[in-house]
Amino acid sequence: MKQPYASIVTRILLLALLAAGCAYAQPQRIVSTSPSITETLFAIGAGPRVVGVSTYCKFPPEAQTLPRIGSYRKPDVEHILRMRPDLVILNEDASEAKTRLHALGLRSMQVPSGSMADALTAIHQIGAAAGAEEAALALTKRIQQGILRAQERTRGKATRTLMIVGRDPDSLTGLIAAGPGSYLGELLEAAGGVNVLEDRGLPAYPRISLETVLRLDPDFILDAGAMGDRPEGTPELRARVLSPWAVRKELKAVRQRRVVPVFSPSFTVPGPRMLEVVDFLAVTLAASPQGDAAP
């Protein structure tokens, strides 16, 4: 994984040089249209200048008090116009909204999303547009350095891991996993884990059967099928997540109590909290086996 991170740093430094000549004044009224954009703005100190966020922006807590402008795919352009923003930041797949905003004379920009490299690039681009270039560059460096530290915890372990991101309630049917080419797959590898779904020709989030899980027999199973708005689930929810796995004692991860429920929404937001996710994964994967008792 070292080479991709080196290339990301190079891209960020090049973008910093390009942004140095930016002629725009620092925007004072910024509208964000997605959680990752909102989290980035607050992380680089531009939060006080954010006047509108998407329906799904829930972190940091300050963002929950701001007016909503709709979803990231179809933001309400008329509502945005009434907010009198001097900068609207969109995801790269919101081209229709960008066209409409441009026609109305509003300054807007699009940032990439979908991978760790995209998230780091977006942090810098947002920082440059918001007049917080130094803070954005410092943030990306912290993330890079933190990921390298996290990798040290799992160096040499090669822990074979399956990450479940969806399944039918109270059963092990309808399983959806994080493939090696997905954002979550990248985070797993960045933390030193080895995705048991090795075929990079798979969809980002493939559907798999219980038979596949049994055949692969991972060392760790991360079950994010009940992911929600709280970083930690209640004891009752944790027990409910673990219950369907408990009877599958033929799985090594079950016998060694290495089925781990995941609830934090930070897993699904490719932004500044990616380091929080990598740290969690590294600590989890570095843990010793806990015996041969099923949870």
Vertex 130: Cα angle to 125 and 131 (nearest 5): 100
pLDDT band at 11 (very low <50, low <70, confident <90, very high): low
- Three-state DSSP class for residue 119: helix
- Three-state DSSP class for residue 225: coil
Selected residue with higher pLDDT from 225 and 35: 35
pTM for the model: 0.85
Find the range with the poorest average confidence among 14-23, 111-120, 175-184, 228-237: 14-23
The token duo for 159 is 């822990």
Distance CA 10, CA 87 (A): 27
Find the range with the poorest average confidence among 95-104, 200-209, 245-254, 281-290: 281-290
Q: Which residues are paired to 91 by β-bridges?
A: 111
- What does each C-alpha distance from 104 to 82, 132, 187 come to in angstroms? 12, 26, 39
The token duo for 112 is 């990439």
Percent of the chain surpassing pLDDT 70: 87
**Looking at the chain, how many residues does it have?**
295
Residues whose CB falls within 8 Å of the CB of residue 265, separated by 6 or more in sequence, listed in order: 58, 59, 227, 228, 229, 231
Domains and CATH numbers, the chain: 2-11+24-147 (3.40.50.1980), 157-286 (3.40.50.1980)
Question: What is the chain's mean pLDDT, rounded?
Answer: 87
pLDDT tens figures, 79-93: 999 999 999 999 998
- Three-state DSSP class for residue 273: coil
pLDDT of residue 16: 46
Does the pLDDT of residue 20 top 60, yes or no? no
Distance CA 9, CA 144 (A): 8
pLDDT of residue 201: 85
pLDDT tens figures, 37-68: 999 999 999 999 999 999 999 999 999 999 99
- Three-state DSSP class for residue 161: strand
